[in-house]
Amino acid sequence: MQVILEFDMPEDKDECTAASHGMDYALTCWDMDQKLRSWLKYGHKFESADDALEKCRDHLRQIMDDHGVHLDMIS
């Protein structure tokens, strides 16, 4: 089975970008979920809720960078 996606450019640029990087975003979610699971299971050294949120955000952005996706890809 073949699936062919068609986009009207430039109107559908965001949709095209999302479709072509879907696996990268899925892997980003998987990796972040695994990191959160690890922190919950094995502990962490967060000093406060704000510290935890900051570390989560930093880690998410690092994973996204590793997978070559960024939030600004979708305008």
List the pLDDT tens digit at each of the 75 positions of the chain: 999 999 999 999 889 988 999 999 999 999 999 999 999 999 999 999 999 999 999 999 999 999 999 888 766
Tell me the C-alpha distance between 8 and 14, whole Å. Answer: 11
pTM of the predicted model, to two decimals? 0.81
Say what the pLDDT of residue 73 is. Answer: 76
